[in-house]
Amino acid sequence: MNDSKLKRFFQDFYLVFVLIFLYAPILTMMVLSFNSSKSRTDWGGFTLDWYRQMFQSSSIMDALYNTLLIAFISALAATILGTVAAIGINQMKRLPRSIAMGVNNIPMLNSEIVTGISLMLAFLAFGISLGFKTILLSHITFCVPYVILSVMPKLKQTSRYTYEAAMDLGAGPVEAFFKVVLPDIMPGVLSGFLLAFTMSLDDFIITHFTRGAGINTLSTLIYSEVRRGIKPSMYALSTIIFLTVLALLLITNFSPEKSPASGEKEKAGRSRRETARRILLVAASFCVIAAVSFTTYSHYAAARSNELYVYNWGEYIDETVIEDFEKETGIHVIYDLFETNEEMYPVIEAGGVAYDAVCPSDYMIQKMIENDLLAEINFDNIPNISQIDPEYMERSRSFDPENRYSVPYTWGTVGILYNDKLVEKLGAEPPDSWMDLWDEKFSGEILMQDSVRDAFMCALKGLGYSLNSTDPDELNQAKDLLIRQKPLIQAYVIDQVRDKMLGGEAAVGVIYSGEMLYLQELAEGKDFNLEYVIPKEGTNLWIDSWVIPKNAKNKENAEKWIDFLCRPDIAKRNFEYITYATPNRGAFEMLDEELQQNKAVFPDWDSLTNAEVYRYLGDEADSIYNELWKEVKSN
């Protein structure tokens, strides 16, 4: 007795342990959805603001509809296709069966990224334009194996003679299937459907490669937000979805009609009835969701006549600016996001989606010009170009020699951010040189940028070379330097540098100047200051500009869009939202004097004597950089 009590205690303990393990991150996220501070590491007080913002954000709502609709249709299709196929495969002879199972396993054994890319290649090769339907087809494809894998074990457990017995007793094949086989494999079918639905819901990589313009699922939306930090309204949405599913589960499991079981057969009958009831309930609720989503989707799909496809960085515009533009011009904007220049380029090059206005950085613009991907801008349609400070047009000549293809949007520098208290505690001087990132005192306290060009920039500049160096000897020295630095580094990051520095996780980090306003605001009231310094060796001066791809279908609309963004009041509003320095003179003059004097955001030109703009170095040099970087990372 005692023994079994002890056993039971251990069992309970283990169950609770696993549940905590599974649900701790979810709880964390729920708590963060009520956090009034935007940072992941900082508690700023209770708020419901994120929930309000979530319902107001059309991008989140659209993504939600798309996600649910795609998940539902693909799970349903995959379940039907998969269950039927499993029965067929189960009846096959050995050889065809193992071939079929082998093919079935391909989407699972392949890395998701290869499945995604291979589908994208196939779609493009057969002239199917990327969009909603390609996501759907891909999702069905990768969901089916999960259904088959959950149905197969069930089928193997059912006796193959029950079906034949039913037929002998006079049932038709269809009747025998629904009365004998299906109830037996129902748990497998159901868990297959659920798995497929959740896999589709959770998928990011395959969607990422097979989606077209203007279509986002929650995953791709979250991914595009990663660069500048995830908005807590995303946590809010996840919390609501989670609680809804939880409620659904509780309703279906603890509904009243539960009579005490007596005898195996009744129990089996009851659980069968319950299963059927549950399926009905689940199916009904999903039908509602699907119906709502579909009407909304078709509504959005129909609203496009005069349109503009925009491709921009995540969180790189004030969303109300888009709304104002739509109101003023009557042009419907399809707004799409990318995270890195390198990710944007193949999309434009492949031309699967024809974007009208894109906002890449300097060196990438040069690459696009050299590869003849850009259209000349007709500046007669952009009278507000006069608002752009000539200084920036001049700087732009390094990548757009005749100022024919690009209009500057934001600019900034790369520098070192440090936590004054932590630096003092480590007994180090405040950094003023790139080589301070190699100081042993900062061991485990350094955050490096996780991108090839930026990482090599730190090393090349530290060695006194040009950041556009293609000299193999100089690059090898930089590589060795970076390898030497690796043990000292806490993590290679992109956007997370901001949150980690705010949370006091690290002492120094490499950061873009545009983050400074935001950081200084949030660091107020903490027991440390975050200071930004441009190292004395010089740094990278970058410019992000609007360009129009050659295959744009709405070039005039794109010019209207660029002109609109150059309007001083609009540029000011954008600046206040994204906090990256604006090259717009009119907007700059409207700012508070204190802001104008903020040297971290708007550095003096004199202090930037050693600053260089990245240039496109050619495909060969690009691959040398990538090879060396891979060596650094794998070391």
Helix (H, G, I), strand (E, B) or coil at 338: strand
Biggest alpha carbon–alpha carbon distance for the chain: 94
Q: Which is nearer to another protein, 274 or 389 (CB)?
A: 274
- Per rule CB under 8 A, is residue 251 in the interface with another protein? no
59 touches another protein by CB under 8 A: no
Which residue is listed with tokens 């920039």? 457
Residue 241 or residue 385: which is nearer to another protein going by CB? 241
316: β partners: none
Tokens coding 417: 């951010």
As measured in angstroms, the least distance from the Cβ of 503 to another protein is 6
- Residue 253 interacts with another protein (CB under 8 A)? yes
Q: Is 480 in the site for another protein (CB under 8 A)?
A: no
Quick one: which segment of 12-20, 303-311, 372-380, 384-392 binds another protein (CB under 8 A)? 12-20
> Residue 235, interface with another protein (CB under 8 A)?
yes
Q: Which stretch binds another protein (CB under 8 A): 77-85, 329-337, 355-363, 404-412?
A: 77-85
Is 87 a binding residue for another protein by CB under 8 A? The answer is yes
Residue 109 engages another protein in binding (rule: CB under 8 A):
yes
Ranges assigned E (strand) in 462-529: 489-493, 508-512
- CB neighbourhood size of 595 (10 A): 15
- CB-nearer residue toward another protein: 41 or 466: 41
Residue choice 1, 95, 125, 174 for contact with another protein (CB under 8 A): 125
**Shortest CB 483 distance to another protein, Å:** 11
Closest approach, Cβ 160 to another protein, in A, equals: 9
DSSP secondary structure string for all residues of 585-635:
HHHHHHS-HHHHT-TTTS--SGGGTT-B------HHHHHHHHHHHHHHHH-
Q: Is residue 618 involved in binding another protein (CB under 8 A)?
A: no
Contact at 8 Å (CB) between 327 and 333?
Answer: no
Residue from 66, 104, 361, 406 touching another protein (CB under 8 A): that is 104
Residue (of 411, 414, 415, 413) closest to 582 by Cα position: 411
Number of residues in contact with another protein under rule CB under 8 A: 123
Contact between 547 and 406 (Cβ < 8 Å): yes
Check binding of 141 to another protein (CB under 8 A): yes
Q: Decide: helix, strand or coil at residue 72.
A: helix
Residue type, 281: L
Query: Exactly one of 52, 267, 304, 404 binds another protein (CB under 8 A); which one?
Result: 267
Please give the residues from 168 up to 207 whose contact with another protein meets the rule CB under 8 A.
173, 187-188, 190-191, 194-195, 198-199, 201-202, 204-205
**476 interacts with another protein by CB under 8 A:** no
- Report the nearest approach of another protein to the CB of residue 572 (Å): 33
State which of positions 331-370 bind another protein (CB under 8 A): 340, 342-343, 345-346
Q: Does 38 bind another protein (CB under 8 A)?
A: no
Shortest distance (Å) from residue 317 CB to another protein: 22
Residue 37 makes contact with another protein by CB under 8 A:
no
In the complex with another protein, the residue whose CB is nearer, 34 or 588, is 34
Give Cβ neighbours of residue 439 (< 8 Å, ≥ 6 apart): 428, 431
What lies within 8 Å, CB to CB, of 560 at 6+ separation is 308, 329, 331, 381
Q: Which of 37, 59, 61, 106 binds another protein (CB under 8 A)?
A: 106
AA letter at 203: D
- In whole angstroms, the minimum distance from the beta carbon of 173 to another protein comes to 6
**C-beta separation of 143 from 200 below 8 A:** yes
CB of 86 to another protein, least distance (A): 8
| 240 lines the binding site for another protein (CB under 8 A) | no
Q: How far apart are CA 205 and CA 220, in angstroms?
A: 8
Residue 271 makes contact with another protein by CB under 8 A: yes
Residue 229 Ramachandran class (φ > 0 left, ψ -120 to 50 alpha, else beta): left
* Smallest separation (angstroms) from another protein to the CB of 191: 5
The gap from C-alpha 346 to its chain's centroid, in whole angstroms, comes to: 17
Stretch that binds another protein, among 49-57, 399-407, 497-505, 558-566 (CB under 8 A): 497-505
Residue listed under structure tokens 């390898």? 483
How far is the CA of 609 from the CAs of 336, 391, 455, 462, 541, in angstroms? 36, 14, 21, 15, 10
483 binds another protein (CB under 8 A): no
Q: Should residue 222 be labelled a site residue for another protein when binding is judged by CB under 8 A?
A: yes
Print burial letters for 371-386: b (CB count within 10 Å at least 16), e (below 16): eebbbebeeeebebbe
With contact defined as beta carbons under 8 Å apart, do 413 and 534 qualify?
A: yes
201 vs 308 by CB, closer to another protein:
201
Cβ 331 to another protein shortest distance, Å? 31
**What is the rounded distance in angstroms from the CA atom of residue 503 to the CA atom of residue 314?**
23
Residues of span 504-543 touching another protein by CB under 8 A: 504-505
Residue with Cβ nearer another protein (1 or 125): 125
The answer to whether 189 touches 151, Cβ cutoff 8 Å, is yes
| Minimum CB distance to another protein smaller for 22 or for 302 | 22
Residues 418-457 that bind another protein (CB under 8 A): 450, 452
Q: Give the span between the Cα atoms of 495 and 480, in whole angstroms.
A: 26
CA 53 to chain centre: 19
Assess 131 for contact with another protein (CB under 8 A): no
> Among residues 218 and 601, whose Cβ is nearest to another protein?
218
User: Taking CB under 8 A as the rule, does residue 127 contact another protein?
Assistant: no
How many Å apart are CA 66 and CA 386, to the nearest integer?
41
**Lookup result for tokens 């496009």:** 304
One residue of 14, 55, 178, 605 binding another protein per CB under 8 A: 14
